Amino acid sequence: MSPGIDATHDPALRSWVDSANQPDGDFPIQNLPFGRFRLGEQPWRMGVAIGDQVLDLRLALEARALPEELEPGLLPLAAGDLNAFMALGPGARSALRKALSGALAAGSQAQARLAACLVPQARVELGLPCVIGDYTDFYVGIHHATAVGRLFRPDNPLLPNYPWVPIAYHGRSSTILPSGHAFSRPWGQVRPPEAEVPELRPTARLDFELEMGIVIGGANALGEAVPIERAEQQVFGLTLFNDWSARDVQAWEYQPLGPFLSKNFASTLSPWVVTLEALAPFRRALSRPAGQPRPLPYLHSEADAAGGAFDVQLEVWLSTERMRAQGLGAHCISRSNFADAACWTVAQMVTHHTVGGCALRPGDLFGSGTLSGPRPEQAGSLLELSQGGKRPIELPGGEQRSFLQDGDEITLRGLCHRPGAARIGFGACTARVLPAVTR
């Protein structure tokens, strides 16, 4: 079903890149995530994060530092085209991972040639890791769905279809931004509670959503359903994802068809894609709440139920303009875990998405939906943390927040660690809110 554990995961493995051996780093040699970067005005190219460096895969190809048989895969990466590399399939990805692990390991004969191919991450601009075609946002976070449902339907928070269907809606890929980009507070139609007529205005209830991004690497033909036993072969890896939301706009527009302007103005994606191979040591059994029905047969396999969840610890950090002016660091406002929050696996999302014949393509992106934990302080949005704005959260320096203000900056972080495995991380997924553009 999934990539297994091999020598590339050995926690004792060390790299000749010294910064990759720091115990609290995100990018040890056991990780090797892919990202797209450039220096100044140079063309975009693909790299692999190792410690605080980026291994430039174009320079690695030119230096002939990797086995010659990998050249068909290195050529699109050297050109900055992760989509074309993903289309080569899991075998190409796995082969390159093993070669990179050996070449970057301490004592490697490739060190002399690859050392000149490293670029400090601090010097590069990181972009979206691939060209994103279609974007689908799922709603698999059961604690989020329950908490939000309880705000509006106290006696019946989950609708009858929720335990049976991996709920999702189609999003807007043109406004997915790479980490580090700011965006303007969006406008939308809002109807205040006391008003009979709605008005157009900037949102006053801007929110973040803590999500994982699932990058599709494989294609299926139109009309071809992907069975759950093969579903993970379509997946390249995972990222961090923030699906910003205008809650007052959403409340007015979402019936009967769901979100529109409240979700299409900006979403932020982290620049590094952590492959399924790197995540192999951090698999867990899917944990569904007691009393939920067994999924329909097309959504169930014993292997997926036993190891289809990923143990990714997630954090949300908030920094306000005033905090930065006072020299205060960002404040962690929530912690949760992908495996604890989701009631559907990545494979189930892929299978359900294609069961009607939908064709997926390399570079398509799934959002997981908001990943809140079971406790109130583990909420993955301000809508939950502030209980719909009724209980603002307290911040260092005396500020409060029910929803985001101009100048606020949200950073998502994710990491995996367990005994017997090397700690790996996802880097940062960061964006700042700018004032609304005058209309």
Over the stretch 72-120, which tens digit does the pLDDT of each residue have? 999 999 999 999 999 999 999 999 999 999 999 999 999 999 999 999 9
Smallest Cα–Cα separation from 166: which of 297, 293, 299, 292? 299
- The token pair at 72 is 């068909």
CATH, domain 135-434, list 1.25.40.10, 1.20.1090.10, 3.90.850.10, 2.40.160.40: 3.90.850.10
Instruction: Quote the pLDDT of residue 74.
Output: 97
**CB of 53 within 8 A of CB of 118?**
yes
Looking up tokens 């069975």, which residue turns up? Answer: 227
Domain spans of the chain, in order of start: 16-126, 135-434
Encoded amino acid at 418, one letter = R
- The token pair at 46 is 């693909």
Contacts of 319 (CB under 8 A, 6+ apart): 328, 329, 330, 331, 408, 409, 411
Phi/psi class of residue 350: alpha, beta or left (left: φ > 0; alpha: ψ in -120 to 50)?
alpha
Please give the DSSP secondary-structure letter assigned to residue 306: H
CA 312 remoteness from chain centre: 11
* Count of residues in the chain: 439
Collect the ranges in the chain with pLDDT lower than 70: 1-3
Q: Phi and psi for 393 in degrees, rounded to 5?
A: -85, 150
Instruction: Quote the pLDDT of residue 289.
Output: 83
Instruction: Quote the pLDDT of residue 3.
Output: 67
**Active centre residues (catalytic):** 144
Contacts of 112 (CB under 8 A, 6+ apart): none
User: CATH topology of 16-126 equal to that of 135-434?
Assistant: no
Smallest Cα–Cα separation from 45: which of 16, 84, 8? 84
Whole-angstrom distance, CA of residue 93 vs CA of residue 101: 12
Rounded to two decimals, the pTM is 0.96
CA 162 remoteness from chain centre: 22
CA 291 remoteness from chain centre: 29
As assigned by CATH, the class of the 16-126 domain is mainly beta
pLDDT tens column, 264-273: 999 999 999 9
Query: Strand, helix or coil at 185?
Result: coil
Instruction: Quote the pLDDT of residue 1.
Output: 46
Whole-angstrom distance, CA of residue 331 vs CA of residue 255: 35
- Expressed in percent and rounded to 5, the helix, strand and coil fractions of the chain are 25, 25, 45
- The token pair at 297 is 């047969």
Instruction: Quote the pLDDT of residue 151.
Output: 81
Smallest Cα–Cα separation from 33: which of 427, 359, 430, 434? 427
Q: Locate the DSSP E strands across 42-81.
A: 45-50, 53-56
- The token pair at 67 is 């086995």
Contacts of 193 (CB under 8 A, 6+ apart): none
For residue 190, list its beta bridge partners: 199
Please give the DSSP secondary-structure letter assigned to residue 255: T
Smallest Cα–Cα separation from 415: which of 404, 405, 426? 426
Whole-angstrom distance, CA of residue 394 vs CA of residue 387: 13
**CB of 33 within 8 A of CB of 48?**
yes
Q: What is the DSSP string of 309-377?
A: EE--EEEEEEE-HHHHHTTPPPEEEEEEEHHHHBSS-HHHHHHHHHTT-PPP-TT-EEE------SSGG
Encoded amino acid at 323, one letter = M
